[in-house]
Amino acid sequence: MSKFVVIGITDMPHPNLNREAIQHIAESRFFSGGIRHKELIQDYLPENAEWINITVPLTDVFDQYKQIDEKIVVIASGDPLFYGIGNTIKREFPEAELLVYPAHNSLQLLAHHYQLEYGKMHIATLTGRDWPEIDLPLIRGEQMIGVLTDRQRTPKTIAQYLLDYGFDNYDCYLGEKLGGPNQKCRRLSIAELLEVDFVHPNCLILVQKKPIVRKFGIPDEAFQTLEGRPKMMTKSLIRLASLSCLELDSASVLWDVGYCTGSVSIEAKQAFPKLKVIAFEKRPESDAIIRNNMKTFHVPGIDIHNGDFFTQDLDVLAAPDRIFIGGHGGKLQEMMKKLHTHLKPNGCIVFNAVSDETIASFKKAAQTLGMKLEKSSRIQLDEFNPIEILKAIKIM
């Protein structure tokens, strides 16, 4: 059975290690880590030390590990179990014996520097990951967000992303080369963060100055709508009733087909920020409208797909367990058949019908596909035509 000893260090030269970690180093022959780690730990290494550089692709590194029938000492930054190599080793070598000697991670060091009470800090790692990692705490309005960066998701690109969606309600603490002699820490506004130079590695802590006030049931008049067609939008009460039918609290992926202004997608994402929302629309002018509405209501993270729905490559997208049909272009039965193919078992489709013809068409399509029809609801708002809210469930 493989054995790994993973030792976390800071960037201080000749790091201060505990007695057990020093003993493991002294009695071992095989070591691994980054080039920088080797330089920092050099004085501890025995003369016969053999070093395996951790570089991408990691599969090459792991292949070298598999050839070794002795203990391997891995040197890592900070806490190896905090989005670090320790977790990767656990995943790739589940049967291996693992000992971990952690140091403080970068966000802890930054919080310590400013004496921030970080016990309730939400962690958003953008290291090798995309924006959804930070969308969740932003929409939730987390009071403190620790952000791990990389060379694509840098302090500047993060600042621009925050400003794009109106999240200037945070102060930012920027830490560079934390835990070493060249450590640098600064407190900045989001706008100032956009202008500063920085070095890698770095991380951020965002601390909320004031919350963004949100409404469940965004007023219709607050949305940008299609020019000359203000009624082309799912109205607030209908929207909320439809979202209730979708039962999004237990959902993972929502497809909003025919998003128009994005009102359903935005309301859903705002209320359920963990939900992955994929929105489809054939009107080219709707692209700018939904993006403007997302910024107005501080709701990032909606995956937008424009063009004819029937020509989209849906196989590359996350399969939905909830679907809302906001528009069908006169091809409702054809659309239902296509959607049913991708809908997960026990998932549902919700549709707002405005005529007896479309009610009958939805029900016929659901019955043909072997779906279970739920009891519908009829709502009439002011002078608008009555809306029938229909729901069909895909049976396993």
What pLDDT shows up at residue 98? Answer: 96
What pLDDT shows up at residue 228? Answer: 65
Domain boundaries, given as residue ranges, for the chain: 3-103, 107-208, 220-393
pLDDT tens readout for residues 5-63: 999 998 888 888 999 999 999 999 999 999 999 999 999 999 999 999 999 889 999 99
Which CATH number is 107-208's, of 3.40.50.1860, 3.40.50.300, 3.40.190.10, 3.30.950.10? Answer: 3.30.950.10
Residues of the chain with pLDDT under 70: 1, 228-232, 383-384
- Label the pairing between strands 372-373 and 387-393: antiparallel
Locus of tokens 């330089």: 39
At 219, which amino acid appears? P
- Check: CB of residue 252 under 8 Å from CB of residue 230: no
Instruction: Name 4's Cβ contacts closer than 8 Å, sequence gap at least 6.
Output: 71, 72, 73, 74, 89, 93, 96, 97, 98, 99
What pLDDT shows up at residue 235? Answer: 82
Locus of tokens 């939905």: 320
What pLDDT shows up at residue 233? Answer: 73
Architecture per CATH, domain 220-393, reads as: 3-Layer(aba) Sandwich (3.40)
In sequence order, the β-bridge partners of residue 32 are 52, 74
What pLDDT shows up at residue 378? Answer: 87
What pLDDT shows up at residue 115? Answer: 97
Quick one: which of 339, 353, 348, 221 has its CA closest to 280? Answer: 339
Q: Which CATH class is domain 3-103?
A: alpha beta
Q: CA distances (Å), 188 to each of 142, 144, 193, 251, in order?
A: 18, 15, 6, 38
What pLDDT shows up at residue 136? Answer: 96
